[in-house]
Amino acid sequence: MKTIKSLLTRTRFLAITSAILVLILLIITIWHGYSLYLISIQALLFILCFTLIFFSVRVDDMILSCFLNFKKNKQKGYLDLFFEHSQDAIAVFTPSNEIIAVNPAFTQLYLYNEDECIGKSIHFYDPTEKEQVIERQKHLLEGKHFNNIRTKEMRKDGTLFFADTTLTPIFNENKEVIAISVIIRNITERIEAERIKFDSIKMNAFGELAASVAHEVRNPLTSVSGFIQLMNIDSENPYRVYTEIMENEIERINLIVNEFLILSKPHLKTHTELNLEDILFEVVELFSEDLIEQKITCDVYLAEYVSTISGNAVSLKQLFINLMKNALDAVEKNGAISFTVSLVNNRVSVTIRDSGTGISHAIANQIFTPFFSTKKGASGLGLVITKKIVLDHLGQIELNNRVMDATEFIVTFPRTSINEIPTIAAPMEIA
């Protein structure tokens, strides 16, 4: 930049000096008379000065032109660098939806390579949002734009993710739409964090309500239960058949009240570093007789390295007992149940799989809803309690819907430490 300014200054100085010299020679010629010889010399000097002026102006124009081209190329270079290194996925489409350009973040997010995209018309949206996409396309061709709208996008492998999407039409000098730019930011993790936070608030509110209801119900229930027991002891009770039914129903109500109280307990009042694998072995051992009786095999597959989490041993044991009970109810004789421990980034994951009939999509959306159950006589609070324990431990629980012929729950917790000595114990098996 300094060199260009210096050259411009020098050429302009040369032009001004030459112009002044021409003016001086012109004044001298008019003021004094000269011979033909001197007039010839003056004519040569005039030509030389005008040549210098013309040359200076041309050089000035050339330098300015070079400077403007340099500045334009530099700006284009910055735009290219922004396009290539942006963390957001960026793509440019023709009005007919053919891809003109994609940046590396786009190919990484959607799992396509550049050659698979350029010149192609690919649907990156969830099929359920087709109508909204067509409507947006219509508005974009009319010159409208969309800022940070929430969309559901689809990768090459069919997996879906949520995104904040900005769509902007690109115009030519005639104000005609010649292309459409799309900027996509993956917000799946943010939405998942919001969902976990909402679930935690919902569970805490439900726990407080459950505690209040449980205490209000338990006091009169204790009195009624006591009188019913006295009536059943009386051998002359003419209504014994009915009072026994009442006693059984009261026991069921008591079970629900106890589950309410479990929901209201703060599970992490006392917590220590725990090895999840030890808890799993204890749970499997607890059900060993049921497994042998029903001829069900149960395998525990350990992670490559032993790791620990921070939590409450009693609560975590209750969590896996609930999942184990559900698996036993779902599996018929000669079936199979497995626990697989794995390390994913900084988290410990436990996958519980059984060889039952699986869970339909319609039921899967309701399994964590309070009082919802497909089992006769169940309270519908088992998985609600399970989810609350998981959330209290800053974990996540999900049902793997991609498994059709079995049921698979995945529970993950933040890892606190890892022992880098590989696990040498063989998988535990009970049959």
Angle at 213 between CA 207 and CA 215, to 5 degrees: 105
pLDDT at 4: 46
pLDDT at 359: 79
Percent helix / strand / coil, the chain, rounded to 5: 55, 20, 25
Tally Cβ neighbours within 10 Å of residue 153: 20
Residue 121: what are its φ and ψ, rounded to 5°?
A: -110, 105
For 326, the token pair is: 């559900």
Pairing type for strands 336-344 and 297-301 reads parallel
User: Tens digit of pLDDT per residue, the chain (431 long)?
Assistant: 444 445 445 555 555 665 565 566 556 655 555 544 455 555 555 555 555 554 555 555 565 565 556 555 555 556 677 778 888 999 999 998 899 989 999 999 998 988 888 888 888 888 888 888 889 989 999 999 999 899 989 998 888 899 999 999 999 888 889 999 999 999 888 887 787 777 777 766 766 676 676 666 777 777 788 888 888 888 788 888 888 888 887 877 776 777 666 666 655 456 788 888 899 999 999 888 889 888 999 999 988 888 888 888 888 888 898 899 888 888 888 889 999 999 888 889 999 999 887 777 777 777 777 777 777 766 677 788 888 888 888 888 888 877 667 889 999 998 887 665 555 444 445 55
What whole-number distance in Å separates Cα of residue 301 and Cα of residue 425?
A: 9
pLDDT at 373: 73
- What letter does residue 158 receive in the DSSP assignment? S
User: Could you give the angle at which helices 240-264 and 188-233 cross, rounded to 10 degrees?
Assistant: 150
Burial of 199 per CB tally in 10 Å (0-12, 13-18, 19+): middle
- What letter does residue 155 receive in the DSSP assignment? -
pLDDT at 383: 82
pLDDT at 36: 45
Contact indicator for 76, 68 with CB cutoff of 8 Å: no
- Classify 227 as helix, strand or coil: helix
Residue 384: what are its φ and ψ, rounded to 5°?
A: -65, -45
- Classify 216 as helix, strand or coil: helix
Strands (DSSP E) contained in 189-328 are 272-274, 297-301, 305-311
For 94, the token pair is: 């023709």
Strands (DSSP E) contained in 210-263 are none
User: What's CA 135's distance to the chain center, in Å?
Assistant: 26
Burial of 341 per CB tally in 10 Å (0-12, 13-18, 19+): buried
For 426, the token pair is: 């063989």
What whole-number distance in Å separates Cα of residue 274 and Cα of residue 95?
A: 58
For 397, the token pair is: 């629980």
